[in-house]
Structure 1
């Protein structure tokens, strides 16, 4: 069966690591304890043998030998005493072939030492200590069975302790894995709801670690998706309105003209002007949509050439001046002479200035719009200032976003898709420039553009 629970996988993974480490630690402790215990027994055995040998060296008689044998009665260790010819004088241990084999030494010794410590394969650990100058030998024996029993008991206790530790650890791992995976499951539920279209989700995860950051990112993503969804819906509603209104005018007046139900030539001219105006309105809307599409798909390309920025602005001012005058507004330019040429996409720059100046005309009822060009160090600046209704301060940071409109009601009055300023900003930034805005409600707005003059531009000055 395929395991799907991440908490189970995490718990299994941690448990495997913990169990492996516990086994490794157990083997290490087993080796350390065994070596330490057997070393202690060997040293104790040699010390006892040396002690008996020193006593026998003073008086190597039957009474002292019997005394040594009696001292080892009722204790774990056993003793065997031989002369210098390895003949057994006395012993507290039952003799067998293994014991007899250990009596004969390969070479004489001058100090006590262990001659057998393989407790796993032999019945005793054996040490030998010489008595005086070649008087005899004292053999000490420690039963291997005692070592095995002690190590078995210690291993059993270790196993039981380890089992208890494992059970507690597995319980803690299970709890911790659930604690660790709970935020992930919460984020999973949030993303599933987002997939259903419920973008704005609250992800209750606190802290500053990576999981908390991921939760905050998902929550922020949901808020952004919700915003774009609402903006898209508003945009579609606005575009539908923007398209429906001119189409209604065009269809209505074209029907009147096609049926010939007009009173005079002046009325015909009026209808044709309305159709032309609404056609232009549709054309601007479609152009904004087309530009946005190219920006989104990465197909936005610039066709640059050397030109005077003043020439572009004079053309736009000339084209829009009648529109401003029709509304009772002034439109004028204050253009600094002898500015260096710029390497720009002329059509795109016309689109920028046309959009900004037309916006100024749309949202200005009294006063006018001024267009100023100037040089500032290695920059050429263009300032478009109006005396219109202005933009609220809390809306200023968002006017460059796609589909964003400051006020839907005023947009319906003036028209607009919420794409113009987004496209303007993209065009300016694609030329390496910047655009900023300052605005005060009921006083007007100032849009300022800065474009860089490079060394080649400077060399073209006054050409």
Structure 2
């Protein structure tokens, strides 16, 4: 029974804590976002501190002044009362008892017309105490008036022959207490040892102090409200132009280049608006100029690429004639014909990539998406770069899931991305193994290509996607790339609404991650694979060779080096050596064309269908 109320109290306390925490977070959010709120609150806090100090100082000064005036008047009054007591006791009947004589004297002091005194208004009312200390024989004090209200410390000082005073609290008629000033003095009256005490209530002074305190507090609250309103209005005059500039800057960033700030007056805000407008005008002109220049540049690239098509076709046909009869030429001319054919392949690749990048720049690139197994573009890319791996002695290791990964992709573009990544990894892998890993979740599929070569310096992970960018311009490209492969690859990834990212460290190699949505049009929020590799070991599970079309199980490695490379024109329709065709020969348009990684066509390639060896589980490449 006791635990239930305790749980209820704990639950209520937890709810209050959550509410307070929510309010605190909301206020903190508003505090961080609102300059006007910070100005007003800061003004209020500082004003409150100043007003609090001012009220404290004023009340202290007023209280001290009132008490000083009261004490001066009380001192004068007690001196007059002492003279009156001494005179009255001297003229009184000596046959009366001491107690009666004291009562008579106290009555005369009480009934005396104090209004005739010039200080009567300042002194106010008071009570009289006549006290005769007891002797050593009887030990009891005698006197008249409220003897118990006299503090012992004050009595000791008066007994020592001093005129003294003390602030104390006395009982009032309502049964409570009130502040009072007690002034005592010894006398030279006929009654030996007589002491005179006057008790001055401080009710009037207390009321005055309370009135002053209330007035100051009320005035301070009103002043705080006025200061808050003033701070709000003043800060609003400063913040409104800033907010206007912020809104216009946002619209300007969205492409509305004609947005400008209104200019009112000639003050600092007006100069800010004019400076902002001048900056916006300059930026608008530069952006317009750059857009026009970029459009002209894209148009020039497209026009030149198209215009070069016709002469390139003519040169290609002539080169094919020479290439077919190269065996009849002397060695020098034969080598020249082979170099001519190879460089024509590279030039044709560059021309195709320029056309492709111009389509991306013009926004004319279209996605021919279809549902298919991601292993298909992987196999196509591997078939294209396998001869590069074999020439350089690079081992290609695959780490693919056992289950098929079905996604809505453009196979030509995805194959081109993977082909560029693999060729780039072989070029920069320094003959170390290159690992291709694929994983998927419910939303996306990720493919990473990891090499263990020279790596990337800090900041180069963004530069690698720039057109014609090279980390080392003097470095030889084994793949014969044009410098546009990665730039086209990232545009192809964006066309799928995916991401292509890079990571690298000097001496630790590089890793490129392609993340694509499984369903066309979905947004990629995360990736099934990390961009930065975890560990550097490469898993090898078997050395059994397999065909390029075989997909290994998770963690397995597949060897496609046993398969001869296909022709540069097609990666899905192998050609026999007896019918090897040049790039000018019409090809099957149903198969994707390889335009980014030119091949060495100096000799006919054996592209007969490779046979799968027994075992078929996994293997190594190169």
Larger helix proportion, structure 1 or 2?
Answer: 1
State TM-score, norm by structure 2. Answer: 0.35
State TM-score, norm by structure 1. Answer: 0.45
